[in-house]
Structure 1
């Protein structure tokens, strides 16, 4: 078990490490979006296959998260962080050097596996390292990385793809991963052998990973194939059956991959569903707003990326404030209010005009959305980890990140269908291309606002927690001095 009595400079460095882990994982979900036209031209992608530069990463990241979370609990958090970071870095390099479209998709797919190992290991290290009020602050910083990563990924993707070229979007990961591995070895205590004698639920791992992979694949492909096609319905039905079989298996397994008792901890299920709805709404909106800026307003990649810089600033400010407020007023009111604020900002953004400009038509909505986004995702992270025993921290982290990736896949699939249907109808009616595209993107962003408003409604069902504690019946943790000021 990682030493919990951490304070001072070392504690801050550990927090920086786990925040970089989450930032890297989320950034690489979005960072290649604005580089896609350059990638398509350079590697001769077809329009249909191009989406798998993004989706290949998303499918394996989401599909392997529960497995990665349990592996960190059973095999050691430091060990799995190093393994995941190594895989992530090596296949970032492979993607940067890819000579063909097939090689890039394969590299991105395996890179997603590395991310699925890194993310839960990082959050479980945080949960077993920080105690008392310091944990709320640490969770605030970690949760902000999800929001920052989604916005900053677009910015860095635009800067790098328009500057040295799209390959640097992946190549820049390599030195960062090397630094992360060195930091993990130097800062983190060796893993104990506490859980290595436990059995491993191989059947459960196969069922849940297969179900997640197939379900995410179906959601991503559905807008192009059609929601009513036999293949889409068959894949979704099969994924559902695999997940049902997984639940049945976990009820009887001697050493379950996912102890169902974890869902009995008050607030975990609600927090994960909130994460799914909120993150899906945000990332889907970012995706279509970026298309609007480039395809309708004529922004260059670096201009489109820079448009999100104010969002990152307000996210950081809101996240820092809410890390303190959680301990005073609890999670529920912050979740509800911040989700409603975000939904309001996204509604403003859904009113984008064909002849719009950044200052009056985008910036106000982006700022309002950013305030709510920073507050919401920080607070949900805290709520989703309340009451989780230390030996299941990795699993809880994997579940939270799986909700995030499932929400992203679901939102992009649904919003793409909304945008495409609206645009095609208007084009068929003789509406000019720019107006038809704008109307489609507007529908998609409005769908994002609905997703986030649903997160506010679900927030009323979540318990109001002020601190992160262990579950009843688990030995209490010894408070350590605060590691953050």
Structure 2
């Protein structure tokens, strides 16, 4: 069977987009929906205060470490086949998470859930690239996909708050199961299968890349929790050694996991830069607002979720405007504009007074940040996949999703480390609300600086194309 889009699939390609987007959206939701539920989970399963963060960390490390391999597996073994297998793993792990009787079991099942998401997401994205030919429709589809990534992060906070207050934290995971069943049924009817590229899979490259990413993420989480200690140095040194080994392996491999030629595209590099930095800004801001709303202002899980819905709604507006402008004006305008809006949003939110209020202190910043988030992710997503040959679509998808996951992890770890480190400097007891607010404000200023760097990078790396330049061109 040819890998080209069959007529029946072409007719239903927008339904195919809906199917793979449902799966991706679940994966993103589960990365943030547990934030609002952490106090309830800790109480029910007896987590120690220092352990509860691993409910988030276990999922993030599994995704960040395996996304690159997951994308290549889709190219190697067939996209629909791999996608459906990953959805099945995600469904089973979600059910196990909801039924977990202890903290240890929940952490283990969160790792399994992350493994399913790490394969499911890039496989779904490579299917999207298969069913949409070059041009306006592909840009629109990629814009929807990219926008859902940022929107899902903030929507997860709303969903987590609602489900935790109304039904209990386990339903954050149980609700995934029927959605996965629907995705599997629709996949059989609507998604095309590719035969797979049965060249030798680069297992040494996969092992070194995955190990390097996992150790890097563990280093970041360790810094956020404990500052610099000997274990941080061990993790960091291990990540550096494996990353160096990965580069050496890839240069000698006849079938490399990541062919270096893919980085010849400035557009691909620029798109991934936007995705990484936007991911840092988004998850960094989510951590900051989570701590501020719940620990300083005393919001309940539901109140917090409803507050974050403001950003979710405005991010949709950013997605719609961004995907329209990318086709008309190119990646640079949308990417730079989106990153500048992230800068403005962080600056507006940075004062964060200890005696704050939603309308006076959060509303304007969340609105502007949401629009910028939607626009930035649309531009970065499309640019990261724009110059990719179909044979490398899974690889490009894995690279882009890895950039997103690493950005999320960097943002959460960086913002936490700055805020808590500043608030507890020289203190013996837990920080007061005033000190915590100052630390959170400082974290937002750092995020604003990083977003400004992202805007400069987008301006340099992303060309302003002619109309034809936003069409996908194969690498040589």
Which TM-score applies when normalising by structure 1? Answer: 0.93
SS of the residue aligned with 1:258?
A: coil
- Mapping for residues 67-466 of structure 1, pairs under 5 Å: 67-131=69-133, 132-193=135-196, 195-196=197-198, 198-227=199-228, 229-425=229-425, 433-464=432-463, 465=465, 466=469
Which TM-score applies when normalising by structure 2? Answer: 0.95
Whole-Å separation in 2 of the counterparts to 1:24 and 1:190: 22
Alpha-carbon distance, 1:472 to partner: 4.6
Whole-Å separation in 2 of the counterparts to 1:255 and 1:458: 31
The reply to whether residue 468 of structure 1 matches residue 467 of structure 2 is no
Alpha-carbon distance, 1:22 to partner: 2.0
Q: Is the 8 A contact 2:10 2:131 kept in 1?
A: no
Whole-Å separation in 2 of the counterparts to 1:373 and 1:459: 14
Whole-Å separation in 1 of the counterparts to 2:350 and 2:440: 8
Alpha-carbon distance, 1:166 to partner: 0.3
Whole-Å separation in 2 of the counterparts to 1:315 and 1:69: 27
Q: Is the 8 A contact 2:67 2:402 kept in 1?
A: yes
Alpha-carbon distance, 1:310 to partner: 2.1
Q: Is the 8 A contact 2:161 2:305 kept in 1?
A: yes
Whole-Å separation in 2 of the counterparts to 1:163 and 1:395: 41
1:298 to 1:311, Cα distance in 2 relative to 1, 3 A: same
Aligned to 1:478: none
Aligned length: 469
Whole-Å separation in 2 of the counterparts to 1:6 and 1:462: 38
Whole-Å separation in 2 of the counterparts to 1:472 and 1:241: 30
SS of the residue aligned with 1:307?
A: helix
- Mapping for residues 9-20 of structure 1, pairs under 5 Å: 10-20=12-22
1:326 to 1:144, Cα distance in 2 relative to 1, 3 A: same
Specify every segment of 5 or more residues in structure 2 that has no aligned partner in the other structure, as ranges: none
Whole-Å separation in 2 of the counterparts to 1:154 and 1:2: 39
Whole-Å separation in 2 of the counterparts to 1:277 and 1:8: 34
Whole-Å separation in 1 of the counterparts to 2:32 and 2:244: 31
Structural RMSD (CA): 1.7
Alpha-carbon distance, 1:9 to partner: 5.9
